[in-house]
Amino acid sequence: MPAVIYIEHDGTQHQVEVPDGDSVMQGAVNNMVNGVAGECGGGLACATCHCYVDEAWMDRVGTATGAESEMLEATFSERKPTSRLGCQIAVSEALDGLVVRLPETQY
């Protein structure tokens, strides 16, 4: 099972095994990682799973486009070039070891 490393705003790290095909948001919510709310359940309707993908992973994960990019305009925390919505990143073996940093707040 691929692992995702979530780094909270205060530096606390959580390495979580996420089932292949689940989203980064689902992995965080299912493992009670602080900093990801996922209020809409992954429906691309709330931006409470905003995260910053580690720069070393951007080539594999890619940048936000379309509706996701528009939704990122509504995030509470600063949008950065590495900003993504966790609900839009499907975990796979190719992303084993993915590092995402979480913003100070989702609200």
- Please list the pLDDT of the chain residue by residue as tens digits (107 residues): 999 999 999 999 999 999 999 999 999 999 999 999 999 999 999 999 999 999 999 999 999 999 999 999 999 999 999 999 999 999 999 999 999 999 999 99
Residue 107 counted as domain residue: no
Residue 96 counted as domain residue: yes
Residue 106 counted as domain residue: no
What is the extent of the structural domain holding 82? Answer: 3-101
**Can you give the CATH number for the domain in which 90 is found?**
3.10.20.30
Asked if residues 52 and 39 have their Cβ atoms less than 8 Å apart, the reply is no
Residue 57 counted as domain residue: yes
Q: State the DSSP string of 53-106.
A: E-GGGHHHH----HHHHHHHTT-SSPP-TTEEEGGG-B--GGGTTEEEE--S--
- Residue 23's Cβ-side half-sphere holds a number of Cα atoms within 13 Å equal to 18
Q: Please give the tally of structural domains in the chain.
A: 1
Residue 29 counted as domain residue: yes
> Quick one: tokens of 8?
């909270």
